[in-house]
A and B are shown apart, each in its own frame.
Chain A
Amino acid sequence: MTAEFVIQTRALSKRFFAVQALDNVEVAVRQGEIHALVGENGAGKSTLGKIISGIIRPDTGDLIVKGRSVAYASPRDALIDGITTITQEISLSGKQTVLQNVLLGQEDAHGGVLDFRRMQRRYDDIRALTGFDIDPQTRVNMLRMADQKKVEVMQAIARDAQVIIMDEPTAMLSGEETALFLKTVRHLKGMGLTIIYVSHFLREVLDLADTVTIMRNGQVVRTAPTRDETVETLVTAMLGKSVAQMYPPKRFSPPDAPVMLEVMGMQSSVFQGIDLTIHAGEILGLAGLVGSGRSRLVRTIFGAEDISGGSLRVGGAAFMPKTPQDAIRAGLYMLPESRKEQGLLLKQSVQLNITLPHLSDVTSFGGVIDSKRELHGIDDLIKALDIRVGSPTTRIRNLSGGNQQKALFGKWLFKRPKVLIIDEPTRGIDVGAKQAIYELIARLAAEGMAILVVSSEIEEVLGLCHRVLVMRRGQIVTELGEADGTLTEDNIMRAAFGTEAAQRVDG
């Protein structure tokens, strides 16, 4: 039990119902380091973070903080030892001022009356310590995201934090804001704090952390200095196999394959003159940083955002997508980015979800649903997509993420589209389901569908697509192709960051 380790775990295990979230986990975090936790969704990294910060309790095993075995009953207990958490979402009171937020729960008061002078002095101390120059009287929701994150950090400092667990802190930040935030994290390390950094952005991790612990299926694969790792070694360890094996082989469509989607000079309040074409059998990728306009672009083509001009054709027929209904009628469907917020009706059955856009095809006179026809189509889909569900009348919220995603595919394949847009095909699902979905996408393309994939995971874009368009600030800046050998990770990153690349790496 060396003093250099501020946090250690011994044989830590935690089970949630049927899922072994943590299995004999042993991790040791050095005082003053940035220690990253990486792994696929469900690998157990967030669970580990939550146990250390007292949010959940382990079933068995020990948590040792500063050489002392502890059993936290709540985050409050962990805070007493100087452990605090910063998560993906901002957890501040947006309508209150920066000062109120930073000193929330730590207010100076005499008999319930606030001592503003003293609070201001304490705020100034924290400001001097962190070097964050934020006006204490600004309302938090007026700040940019990166600055809100800084306020959370200041709040942690105000609570005498010595160890900060950061769970996907940059997931909601844009590229530039991420760079600013990473600078903040380095600064905290400089102040002598220990950071446990949970992230699935591997580049960020390699760039930032001193040590990385890789997890898979609730177990630690290894802990190593980041200088000994690369993106490839991390991915291979996280998946248990190399990236190449995840993806089906690419089959190229014949050169004379017809154009299924043609967009020329598309205009809207945010786009000026977008051009793109997809041929039958082709998988086109759309890459770019968060906020580069990828999702907005496909939503515009689908009629879910405003459109002011341009010429669009689906399967040769002109169409102008004013509403999603127009796109669906033309044979262009879209799986939206967020399964739960935009895709599924969580309170409804699998059946209702799947046929919702296609009810006209299963109704007879007066909009009365022909349940035989409806169920027939659904049963076929459930089998074809291998959706693990007892009955089509099961509520969709009772399915796992992977099966929900398959059901979402089912919803848009009940009737075959000419063009299928898939925004984040595998977000938040396990490796097995991911692979099944990659195979499905490849099969649909092989059958002649034109597919447009938007993804934040570069590996996915590289592994799946024939051709990739890279977006930056609402414009398509480059086209990269598998055929001419330009489709590489380096080229995507370079195009995506543009001139910002240097800034981000320097942090």
Chain B
Amino acid sequence: MAIGKTASGQPRTLTRLLLDYGVLFAFVALFLFLAFRAEAFLTTRNQLNILDQAHQIGLMALAVTVVIIAGGFDLSMGAIFAMSAVIAAFVARDLEANESFASIAPYAGWVAGVVVGTLFGLLNGVLVTVLRINTFVATLASGIVIRGLALIITQAEQVRVQDERFQALARGGIGDINNTILIWLGFAILLTFVLTRTKFGRHVFAAGDNPEAARLSGINVNLVRTITFGISGFAAGLAGVISASKFMKAQNDMGQGLELIAIASVVIGGTSIMGGEGAVWRTVLGVLLLRLIENGFNLINVDTFYQDVFQGLIILFAVALDAMRHRRQ
């Protein structure tokens, strides 16, 4: 992406540049600041640590970027995260007890968790498109229902998995690079390709930009939107399964509020909450920016009490930038 020029070929003003690439400047500035201020920051170990810790929010933020570009919103991701974790742990634990399935139990658990997450996501899509329920309300309500179901399934007890192989998803890796890093950055590359190079990607932008014009262009807008919710269900489910895999257990109250941090990361990246515009690389930077703040604050010994305030201010600032961009148009 050319940074020096606008799409129309006119020279950029500094304001315009800041408005469009604010997240990039903020990220680079904070990165350099920490590189100079904190000795431990630039070590490979710390960098990999940052990337690893970003995987949960990363997966969900990437997926919800697609939902937001298509004109939707997803507040049920935290609940789907918990549900998928619980299902994965359940299946892995119960199949393990059954001799004929014991050999595949952990893998069946992973798959079951992700499939259930995807299905709940698609269900959200149906609520929003076929039943035409407002996307905030639909996913808020479905989130409450899904978390409630997780409570019923677990009876508020932890589901523990014994089979060590279950841990491989979260703890495995290539050399020093953890699977989690490969999964979420791989997901980012995949979604970038889908959004920028495929027919479906074009349809996602069209659905969010002007649904009526998209429909009159022969696009099945409801189907496109439903699939985007399927993607966010998939990602939330995968993140939940990874969490269950990491700790070898799951419970119904996991992942509370993760969806809000994920959405905040998208906004910080500069993807418009109005739909129709945005990019995956923005969300990657948005996610990492929040991680850098947390990591950096710890390294330079700032009281963690201030972190929330600082993160909140950054989100406010990002939303204000988005509003300014829209006023200028």
Chain A positions within 8 Å of B, measured between CB atoms, are: 302, 304, 323-325, 327-329, 334, 336, 341-349, 352, 355-357, 359-360, 363, 366-369, 371, 390-391, 393-395, 397-398, 411
Q: Does B8 contact A (CB under 8 A)?
A: yes
**B-side interface size class:** 20 to 34
* A321→B329 CA distance, assembly (Å): 37
Q: Does B294 contact A (CB under 8 A)?
A: no
B277 near A368: Cβ-Cβ < 8 Å: no
Q: Which residues in B have some Cβ–Cβ distance to A below 8 Å?
A: 7-9, 197-200, 202-203, 205-206, 209-210, 212-220, 276-277, 329
Closest to B329 in A: A397
The answer to whether residues A348 and B9 also contact, given A334-B216, A359-B199 and a CB cut-off of 8 A, is: no
Beyond A323-B218, A348-B205, 8 extra complex contacts between A and B, CB < 8 Å: A304-B215, A324-B218, A327-B218, A341-B212, A345-B214, A347-B205, A347-B209, A348-B209
Chain A residues whose CB sits within 8 angstroms of the CB of B209 once the complex forms: 345-348
A359 touches B202 (CB 8 A): yes
Tell me whether A394 and B7 are in contact in the complex, defined as CB-CB below 8 angstroms, given that A336-B216, A345-B214 are known contacts.
yes
Set of chain B residues within 8 Å of A391, measured between Cβ atoms: 7-9
Say whether A352 contacts B205, CB under 8 Å: yes
Cβ of A345 and Cβ of B210 under 8 Å apart? yes
- Structural contact, B7 and A345, CB atoms closer than 8 A: no
Quick check: B215 and A395 within 8 Å, CB to CB? no
Judging by beta carbons under 8 Å apart, are B213 and A342 in contact? yes
CB distance from B326 to the nearest CB of A (A): 10
Q: Are A357 and B218 also in contact (CB < 8 A) when A347-B276, A348-B276, A366-B198 are?
A: yes
Bound Cα distance A116, B212 (Å) = 44
The docked-state distance in angstroms from the alpha carbon of A368 to that of B202 is 10
Scoring A324, A336, A352 by chain B CB atoms within 10 A of each residue's CB, the highest score goes to A324
Q: Measured between C-beta atoms, what is the minimum distance from A453 to chain B in Å?
A: 17
Chain B residues lying within 8 Å of A302, measured Cβ to Cβ, are: 216
The 3 A-B pairs with the shortest beta carbon distances in the complex, nearest first, are A367-B199, A345-B209, A325-B218
Structural contact, B276 and A394, CB atoms closer than 8 A:
no
Report chain B residues within 8 Å CB of A323: 218, 220
21 of the cross-chain contacts (CB-CB < 8 Å) are A304-B215, A325-B219, A328-B217, A328-B218, A341-B212, A345-B205, A345-B209, A345-B276, A347-B277, A348-B276, A355-B202, A368-B199, A369-B199, A390-B8, A390-B9, A391-B9, A394-B7, A394-B9, A398-B7, A398-B8, A411-B217
B202 touches A369 (CB 8 A): yes
Q: Which of A304, A336, A359, A371 has the most CB of B within 10 A?
A: A359
| Shortest beta-carbon distance from B198 to chain A in Å | 5
Q: Chain B: which residue is nearest A326 at the CB level? A: B218
B202 and A344 within 8 A (CB): no
- Which of A304, A329, A356, A369 contacts B206, CB < 8 Å? A356
Q: How far is the CA of A348 from the CA of B195 in the complex (A)?
A: 13
Instruction: Output the least CB separation between A33 and chain B (Å).
Output: 40
**B307 CB to nearest chain A CB (Å):** 34
Question: Chain A residues near B9 (CB, 8 Å)?
Answer: 390-391, 394
The answer on a CB contact under 8 Å between B210 and A324 is no
Q: Evaluate whether A342 and B212 lie within 8 angstroms (CB atoms) in the complex, with A347-B276, A393-B7, A397-B329 already known.
A: yes
Task: Report whether A368 and B197 are in contact in the complex, using a CB–CB cutoff of 8 Å.
Answer: yes
Residues of the A chain whose Cβ atoms lie less than 8 Å from the Cβ of B215: 304, 324
Residues of B within 8 A of A397 (CB): 329
Chain B residues with CB under 8 Å of A352's CB are: 202, 205-206
**Chain B residue contacts of A324, Cβ below 8 A:** 215-218
